[in-house]
Amino acid sequence: MQQGKFITLEGIDGAGKSTHLIWLEDFLRRKRINNVMTREPGGTPLGEQLRTLLLDQRQIMHAETEALMMFAARREHLDKVILPSLTRGDWVISDRFADASFAYQGGGRGVSFDKLQILEQWVQGSFQPDLTLYFDVPIETARQRVQSVKTADRFEQEQDEFFRRVREAYLQRAQQFPERIRLIDASRPLQDVTSALEGIIQETLFN
């Protein structure tokens, strides 16, 4: 029986998720809500090892191998972290979840959405986040942010065209699931993004 809430954060690389995650953790602390912050791919010892392989620039893999590894890491994450935490009554905040597979492997790499849906059904059944915050930014803004932070990983090194497809897939999913996925224009000044975020969380999870 799920008691806690499951919130996921999504966006192309450089959308500013990390900053908003820190704000969200602080917000929940102020509300005295026990929470678990986690991420995908990763969140478990095995998942973190898969993450290392998935982000390693030297790895060359078939797009479907990449999709299978993302869902394998997710299966472990659900079993070891997400579901037990929610059952305990904690809230779980995940930096990415299955929408990222539809956006990156589906939109970006061209893996068939039907195949991804089969994997989703296999790994999650009907389980979905209570709320997904999708931070939307133009490709150019995201690219500038990524370049200024660190050396690019296997995804970040992709061309603008790849991220255009990823963003398009995210936007389509936001349209497809408007109740669950809330789009936030993250190209605005930080303070505006934060107040939009707070408004959405209050409205969807505390009313």
Note the Cα 126 to chain centre separation in Å.
18
- Cβ contact 146:17 at 8 Å: no
- Cβ contact 143:160 at 8 Å: yes
Residues 35-74 that bind ligand TMP (CB under 6 A): 39-41, 70
Among 4, 8, 13, 136, binds ligand TMP (CB under 6 A): 13
- Cβ contact 133:20 at 8 Å: yes
101 contributes a contact to ligand TMP by CB under 6 A: yes
96 contributes a contact to ligand TMP by CB under 6 A: yes
Residue 87: how many other CB atoms lie within 10 Å: 12
132 contributes a contact to ligand TMP by CB under 6 A: no
129 contributes a contact to ligand TMP by CB under 6 A: no
**Residue 176, helix vs strand vs coil:** helix
Tokens standing for 202? Answer: 């209050």
Candidates 23-31, 33-41, 56-64, 142-150; binding stretch for ligand TMP (CB under 6 A):
33-41
Q: Phi and psi dihedrals of 16, rounded to 5?
A: 100, 20
Tokens standing for 87? Answer: 């059952």
Among 135, 155, 163, 170, binds ligand TMP (CB under 6 A): 155
How near is the Cβ of 156 to ligand TMP at its closest, in Å?
6
How near is the Cβ of 81 to ligand TMP at its closest, in Å?
14
Q: Which residues of the chain form contacts with ligand TMP (CB under 6 A)?
A: 13, 39-41, 70, 95-96, 100-101, 104-105, 155
